[in-house]
Amino acid sequence: MKVKVKVKRVLQTLKLAVLCGGERYTDPIEPPAFSPPTEGKMTDVAASGFFVLVFDAVLGSSMWTGLLLLDCSSCGGLEGVWAFGAVKWVFLHVFTSVLTDGKPQPVLHRLVALLCLLPPVFESGRFLKASPSEPYSGPSPNLSMLLLGPMASSLACLIWEKGLSGNGKTKTDSVKLDTSGLLMRTLKYFKPDTLYLIAAFSFLILGVICDTFIPLYQGKVIDMLSGKVLEAGFGYALGELVLISLGSALFSGMRGGIFMCTLARLNKRLKHLLFHTLLKQEVQFFDDNNPGRLSSRLHSDVDRMGRTVALNANAVVRSTVKTFLMLVVMLRLSWELTVLTCIEMPLLAVVQNKYSTLYKELKEQIQDCQAQNADLASQTVSGIQTVRSFKAEKDEIRRYQEALKQMRVVKRRSGIYSSVFLLVRRLVSLGIKILMLFQARTLISSGKLSIGSLVSFFLYQKPMSVNLKEILYCYGETVATVGVISKVFSYLDRTPKCKEEGDLAPDNLQGRIVFQNVTFKYQEKLALKSVSMELQPGKMTALVGPSGSGKTTCVSLLKRLYEPQEGEILLDGKPLHLYKHKYFHQKVTLVSQNPVLFSGSLRYNIEYGLQDCGIEKVKETANNVNAHDFISEMENEYNTDVGEGGGRLAGGQKQCIAVIRALVRDPQVIILDEATSKLDVEAQHSVLKEIFARGRTVLVVAHQLKTVEQADHIIFLENGEVVEEGTHSELMAKKGRYYRLKEELFSQDSQ
């Protein structure tokens, strides 16, 4: 135990000396303050790696010194080399644990494994290649071999850390896990298409097998053309080539078709699920997320997510199988040229990995810009009347131009990165190609390679690098799409902040509404402060107050579009959330000043959300509010299309349709938010008469007292508080707070 502590302290002293860059440092217990923590961590790993390499060199030279002193020419043959590797692993492992206080980083594990494995693997290769005339004699103490192992191991670790396993600076294991977790989760959505996928992958593998053998047969045919093989076999080889080519075309076509079909099914499922989840969210969610962004998630992001995962899985499997088969054939043709081809791979992987990291960030930025642009354009187009009436076209164009400029900057950056990446990739490929041509000349002149085989090799080499590039590209593309996938899943996983649906649906509902100390905030903005009021059945209550006083908020809470943070709203003595949703929204209906109509027929809009409402009931209700006549005069009567947002109807007609839509539901509570302001006097009269029938509870929202003279009870709201209430005449007679506050309004009303 004491020895361990001593070793540790010595190591710490050495380590800190290195970390301090050779500066004088006396106290080994108190380490100097390292600057940024991540930098410190990386230096720590580098220092530990350095000590592992030194310790490995010490172990290696001790073994050779021991063998020389004991006068042993062999170190036990191949078994001895493997045994020494195992012993070395134990020593290095313990050393690394001590060095890192029992928490060695994964990179150190990899370094130790490589240092211990490389020499035995190399010696095993030598053993297998040894000819019977020169049998394997075991390793010899060679300085270059002693240096090569540690150098190759360090380089491999460096390439892995800096290039292949991420950007080498910030990527943590949890992020990696998250990426694979997200991809696995996306794959799970393919479950209903398992049969399709099995068929597609089977065709894919058959197609790949056929593809792989095409160049081999082409090479054979070329050798036959040059007269190196018997003429008789020519027709047979040509037949095989045609057959394989036909098979490749057929299987590839089937594979592509089935994949596209599966992708379409996945898209449909995901979009349906996302739309379903979105519609379940509370209204506040839609206040916080603008429609452009949500629609972009629903359309382009889901498409991209499915496409990336499905097509990339297809491409990766195809390219991997193809690469493996081609590698086998290429190794048989010439292992020297194959090694050169394979050198290209890690180099390209490093470049691609760097590019992928940058590309991922840029993709996310471009996506956000696109959503913002779409939102801006749709807002302007849908509000064109307002834009035109304020002559704000130039402002809107400028805003849109600025958004486009922002996107152009990001896209330009992406373009520059992509050209630099392409340049580096091409240069690497070119360098390797030149080396291969030199090697091919040597092989052909020594008779180890025929021209046909060289042609075959080159026919393999191009698709081989295309396959590798495809694998790397798919990897990059998948990494870039992880952001999109996680956003889509974040919406899919979102639990709506609504109370659970109740099961109350009484046949007889009186419609008595009570607000009990209701307080409500929009995010940080307080809109209602402890509001208490009562709406009586068979009576008309008016909610009056200046703009921003909280009238609409009261209505929204009563319609359960939001939930109060404090207090409760009761319907016939029961909290609203205890009622069944459908029942509740049929019994409590709202008609607003600017009702929203959907494109479709009048009948569709009136029956909206109702399953069992016949045309007779629609006609009867329309008749009751004197709307049947104007509807009958329309081109297709109740089947007349109202246009986008009801644009083909006049304001008063829209209000009339909204009133009918509310009344066909047989409501017990009706909320009129300046709902009849655009109707003529006669129409207003018939609408109000119908509304007040059947002892309904009526809540009317208004800005001015003079518009609600017929109300049984008036509640005056200001700054989210009830400041005054009573009948119209009581309020007019009162010289209370309301009149002091609103003298102007009062004098206007009393005129």
Ligand X SMILES: Nc1ncnc2c1ncn2[C@@H]1O[C@H](COP(=O)(O)OP(=O)(O)OP(=O)(O)O)[C@@H](O)[C@H]1O
Minimum separation from the CB atom of position 708 to ligand X (A): 14
User: Where do contacts with ligand X occur on this chain (CB under 6 A)?
Assistant: 287, 522, 525, 527, 545, 547-553, 703
Cβ proximity to ligand X, 129 vs 525, nearer residue: 525
Minimum separation from the CB atom of position 472 to ligand X (A): 47
Minimum separation from the CB atom of position 529 to ligand X (A): 11
Evaluate whether 183 touches 309 at the Cβ level (below 8 Å).
Answer: yes
Cβ proximity to ligand X, 495 vs 547, nearer residue: 547
Cα–Cα distance, 334 to 113 (Å, whole number):
30
Cα–Cα distance, 466 to 475 (Å, whole number):
14
Minimum separation from the CB atom of position 703 to ligand X (A): 6
**Which residue is associated with the tokens 């709203």?**
569
**Which residue is associated with the tokens 């909290």?**
575
Cβ proximity to ligand X, 80 vs 545, nearer residue: 545
**DSSP E strand boundaries for 324-410:** none
> Residue 734, Cβ neighbours under 10 Å: how many?
12
Minimum separation from the CB atom of position 579 to ligand X (A): 23
Q: Which amino acid is at 71?
A: D
Cβ proximity to ligand X, 380 vs 549, nearer residue: 549
Cβ proximity to ligand X, 104 vs 545, nearer residue: 545
Residue 66's contacts (CB-CB under 8 Å, 6 or more residues apart) are none
**Main-chain phi, psi angles of 46, to 5 degrees:** -60, -45
Cβ proximity to ligand X, 403 vs 702, nearer residue: 702
Evaluate whether 337 touches 226 at the Cβ level (below 8 Å).
Answer: no
Minimum separation from the CB atom of position 749 to ligand X (A): 17
Evaluate whether 15 touches 43 at the Cβ level (below 8 Å).
Answer: no
Burial (Cβ within 10 Å: 0-12, 13-18, ≥19) of residue 635: exposed
Minimum separation from the CB atom of position 522 to ligand X (A): 3
Cβ proximity to ligand X, 119 vs 720, nearer residue: 720
Cβ proximity to ligand X, 487 vs 529, nearer residue: 529
Evaluate whether 538 touches 695 at the Cβ level (below 8 Å).
Answer: yes
184 is written with which tokens?
Answer: 């696995």
> Measured in whole angstroms, how far is the alpha carbon of residue 569 from the centre of its chain?
39
Minimum separation from the CB atom of position 592 to ligand X (A): 10
Burial (Cβ within 10 Å: 0-12, 13-18, ≥19) of residue 288: exposed
Cβ proximity to ligand X, 403 vs 675, nearer residue: 675
Minimum separation from the CB atom of position 720 to ligand X (A): 6
Minimum separation from the CB atom of position 677 to ligand X (A): 12
Cβ proximity to ligand X, 370 vs 594, nearer residue: 594
Cα–Cα distance, 649 to 598 (Å, whole number):
12
Question: What is the b/e burial string over 603-624, where b = at least 16 CB atoms within 10 angstroms of the residue's CB?
Answer: bebbbeeeeebeeebbbebbbb
Cα–Cα distance, 421 to 415 (Å, whole number):
10
Q: What is the DSSP letter of 34?
A: P
Residue 68's contacts (CB-CB under 8 Å, 6 or more residues apart) are 141
| DSSP class per residue in 61-86 | HHHHHHHHHTT-S-SSHHHHHHHHHH
